Chain A
Amino acid sequence: EADIYQTPRYLVIGTGKKITLECSQTMGHDKMYWYQQDPGMELHLIHYSYGVNSTEKGDLSSESTVSRIRTEHFPLTLESARPSHTSQYLCASSDSVRTGPYEQYFGPGTRLTVT
Chain B
Amino acid sequence: AQSVTQLDSQVPVFEEAPVELRCNYSSSVSVYLFWYVQYPNQGLQLLLKYLSGSTLVKGINGFEAEFNKSQTSFHLRKPSVHISDTAEYFCAVNTGRRALTFGSGTRLQVQP
- Report which A residues bind B (CB closer than 8 A): 4, 6, 9, 33, 35, 40-45, 48, 56, 58, 90, 92, 100-109, 111
Contact = CB atoms under 8 A, between A and B. Distances in A.
Interface band, chain B: 20 to 34
Contact of B98 (A6, A48, A100): A48
Contact of A106 (B45, B94, B107): B45
Instruction: Give the 5 A-B residue pairs with the shortest CB-CB distance, closest first.
Output: A106-B43, A102-B94, A106-B44, A42-B104, A108-B43
Given A103-B49, A107-B43, A109-B43, A42 B32 contact: no
A42 B103 contact: yes
Given A42-B90, A42-B105, A43-B90, A111 B100 contact: no
B34 A103 contact: yes
B84 interface: no
B54 interface: no
Given A40-B105, A103-B46, A108-B43, 16 more contacts: A4-B43, A6-B43, A33-B99, A41-B105, A42-B90, A42-B103, A43-B90, A48-B98, A58-B99, A90-B43, A102-B51, A102-B100, A103-B34, A105-B46, A106-B43, A109-B43
Contacts of B45: 106
Contact of B51 (A33, A41, A45, A100): A100
B41 interface: yes
Nearest to B43: A106
24 contacts: A4-B43, A6-B43, A40-B105, A42-B102, A42-B103, A43-B90, A43-B102, A44-B102, A45-B99, A48-B99, A56-B98, A58-B99, A90-B44, A92-B44, A100-B51, A101-B32, A101-B96, A102-B32, A102-B34, A103-B46, A106-B36, A106-B45, A108-B43, A109-B42
B96 A108 contact: no
A45 B99 CA distance: 7
Given A42-B90, A90-B43, A101 B51 contact: yes
